Amino acid sequence: MKNFKNINEYIKSFPKEVQKDLILLRGTIKKLVPKGEETIRYGMPTFRLNNKNLLHFAAYEKHIGFYPTPGPITSFKEELSKYKTSKGAIQFPLGEPLPTPLIVKIIKFRIDEL
C-alpha cells in the first residue's frame, strides 16, 4: 500500500481508463457532499462529513471498490444484486459503466445516516 498525500495523487497512479471512473465517482460524491472533507484513510480516498467517515473508494485490478458501510448495502440489496458485495463493500467491475444513479442513492442514504 502506497502512502498517497491526497486524492489527486491517488487517482493519477492508475491507468487513464481507471482514472476516468475514479474522477466520475469523486465528482459525484463532491456534488452531493460539497462540504465533505477529502482525505486518504486506510490508503483509500475517503470523504468525511461532520468529522466522521462518510465513505471510501479504491481501484483494483478488476474493479472499483466502493465502501459506504453496511447500511446502504442492506437497504439497496436488490439493486446491488448484479454486483459483488460484502458487509461494507461493493465491487463495480472495470470496463462497465458506473451505476451513477444507484451511487447517488447510496450517498444520500449515507448522508442521512450521519
How do residues 20-71 score in pLDDT, each as one tens digit?
999 999 999 999 999 999 999 999 999 999 999 999 999 999 999 999 999 9
Arch. (CATH architecture) of 7-107: Alpha-Beta Complex (3.90)
The pLDDT, as a whole number, for residue 26 is 98
What number of other Cβ atoms are within 10 A of residue 56's Cβ?
22
Percent of the chain whose pLDDT exceeds 90: 96
Residue 93: pLDDT over 90: yes
Please name the helix (run of DSSP H) or strand (run of DSSP E) that holds residue 27, with its range, or none. Answer: helix 16-32
Query: What is the band of 2 on the pLDDT scale with cuts at 50, 70, 90?
Result: confident
Query: What is the band of 1 on the pLDDT scale with cuts at 50, 70, 90?
Result: low
Task: Quote the cell numbers at residue 69.
Answer: 458501510
**DSSP-based three-state secondary structure for 102:** helix
Beta strands of 1-114 (E only): which ranges? 37-41, 44-49, 52-59, 63-67, 84-85, 90-93
What number of other Cβ atoms are within 10 A of residue 54's Cβ?
21
Domain limits, the chain: 7-107
Residues 6+ apart with CB under 8 A from 78: none
Task: Quote the cell numbers at residue 33.
Answer: 457532499
Rounded mean pLDDT of 70-83? 97
The pLDDT, as a whole number, for residue 3 is 87
The pLDDT, as a whole number, for residue 34 is 95
